[in-house]
A = this chain, B = another copy of it.
Amino acid sequence: MKLVCTKKNLNQGLITASHIIGAGNTLPVLNNILFKTDKGRLKLSSTNLEVAINTWVGGKIEEEGELTIPARLVNDYVNNIAAEKITITTQNQTLFLEAERAKTHIKGLSSDEFPLIPKAEEKIYTKIEGKLLGEVIKKVSFASAFSETQPEISGVLFFFEGKTLTMAATDRYRLAEAKIELLEEVASPKSVIIPARGVNEVARVVGQGPIDIYLTDGQVVFKTEDTELLSRLIDGQYPDYKQIIPKSFVTEAEMGRNEFVQALKAASLFASESNNIELDLTPQNKQVVIKSQSSQTGDSEIRLDAKITGQKNSVVFNYRYIIECLNNLPDEKIVLKAIDSSSPAQIVPVGRDNYLYIVMPIKI
């Protein structure tokens, strides 16, 4: 292999490809990035056997070739050298990087040992705006939970229908659901479960432009102009979560999101044993009262101004489930909707109806 590329492009490609590579893989080649010349560009590939990334770096290819190189080492090295252009050559399973003021040999492993990354389906299923997809993933995927026994809730549901993608995640104690518009209407509805870890990697590589989505039986591919992310799908039936979303509520309290988070954090200091926090919604006082107590440390009562409609209500929650949702929303104000102390409550942002979060109360 021999090629010349800019440090900036190589650095960006290495950052994109190396993120999915974990530390201390027992199979050494999984710690490596595959460097391979591909149709006039350098293709960098990585895989953790669940998610794979191919990203292409522009350059001047003088000689074809391929070799795998320790991901963290080459990534850190290129990141730290001062250089405009880098010449890459390979010889005897060693990569030679040469810049204006730096020369490096990095020992690699043969590309024969690198796992085969399956190709993307040829026909695009749909398109979506990358930036929007990335934002929505962050608001949904955190609600999933890794589970050996229920692999389907380790993933995020992607349901495509018409011009809408509905994304949902749950750990059976709480649920996040968001809807996004697609750039192209799908020919037929499809529903897939993508591992949450893969979904989070999608959020990282999407960039600003449109994303092509390819679907096959066992795999989904998200493709930007110069990067593709392939993830296996989770086999299984996603929980029928629609049935637990209440149709109506008894009390609704509108609050500032930041103020609510801060009050919950203060209250949580007295909830270290159980994580339980009581929220009293009192319409006549226009206040949400946040109560917590601990036999060890003491107790706390914090009052928060709120616009409250409906009846007086009192519900106990695991505060972590509420803070996690609020921390993942960008909205200034949210509405907490409750029925009673044993029914699911709902959090929605004020001013848009494409997101909802359901949280189960703690029954005392």
A positions within 8 Å CB-CB of B? 70, 73, 76-77, 80-82, 94-95, 101-107, 259, 262-263, 265-266, 269-270, 296-304
Contact = CB atoms under 8 A, between A and B. Distances in A.
Contacts of A104: 270, 298-301
Looking at A101, A301, A304, the one whose CB has the most chain B CB atoms below 10 A away is A101
Nearest to A94: B298
B296 A101 contact: no
A80 B299 contact: no
B296 A107 contact: yes
Given A76-B269, A266-B77, A303-B101, A82 B297 contact: no
A176 to B, nearest CB: 25
A332 B188 CA distance: 62
Given A76-B269, A80-B269, A104-B270, 10 more contacts: A76-B265, A80-B266, A82-B259, A95-B298, A101-B304, A102-B266, A104-B299, A104-B300, A105-B300, A107-B297
A326 to B, nearest CB: 14
Contacts of A101: 302-304
A294 to B, nearest CB: 9
A77 B270 CA distance: 9
A102 B303 contact: yes
29 contacts: A70-B297, A73-B269, A73-B297, A76-B265, A77-B266, A77-B269, A80-B263, A80-B265, A80-B269, A81-B262, A81-B263, A81-B302, A82-B262, A82-B263, A95-B298, A101-B304, A102-B300, A102-B301, A102-B302, A103-B300, A104-B298, A104-B299, A104-B301, A105-B298, A105-B299, A106-B297, A106-B298, A107-B297, A107-B298
A333 to B, nearest CB: 16
Nearest to A292: B104
A303 to B, nearest CB: 4
Contacts of A80: 262-263, 265-266, 269
A-B interface, 9 closest residue pairs, ranked by CB to CB distance from nearest = A80-B266, A106-B298, A105-B298, A101-B303, A104-B300, A102-B302, A103-B301, A80-B265, A81-B266
Contacts of A107: 296-298
A82 to B, nearest CB: 6
Contacts of A81: 262-263, 266, 302
A103 B82 CA distance: 56
A275 to B, nearest CB: 16
A107 B272 CA distance: 14
A103 B265 CA distance: 15
Contacts of A105: 298-300
A259 B95 CA distance: 25
A33 to B, nearest CB: 14
Contacts of A265: 76, 80
A245 to B, nearest CB: 32
Contacts of A262: 80-82
A95 B103 CA distance: 65
